Structure 1
Amino acid sequence: MISNSKQLWEVGQAVKVGFLTLIVCAKVATPGDFMPDAYALSNKGGTAFYRFVPHNGLTRYESLAEAMDG
């Protein structure tokens, strides 16, 4: 989990990623890949979905399911 951030990375919370303000939809555990856990995010309208991995970037997906699967 992101521990040094002043933002709350919990489901339902708004967070800033770069210049975007997004809503946390889910925390996605990524055991075995030696990377930080990922977060499934959406815009406020729920029309765009993203997967965010700390220190590795933000990727846009067509659906929440795809964002959670990566």
Structure 2
Amino acid sequence: SCSVPLGLSTYEIKDWQITASSSEDEDSDLQVQNARIYIEHKKAWCPRKNTINNWIQIDLGTPTK
């Protein structure tokens, strides 16, 4: 279990570390970088197609438990 924040809401995790199976158009407010938690904005991540195979991946740089 994780007992400390890893940096998604504080931007310690950079945008390039967040990837997804797909996202809406590049210029939209629905890109994967908008999947951060506790952020005051009206944006979100939305995959291009609504399927059960969609995913988000966060590269933490090192294995983390």
TM-score by length of 2: 0.27
Bigger Rg, which one: 2
Give the number of the structure whose residues are more often strand, by fraction: 1
Report 1 or 2 for greater relative contact order, CA contacts < 8 Å, sequence distance ≥ 6: 2
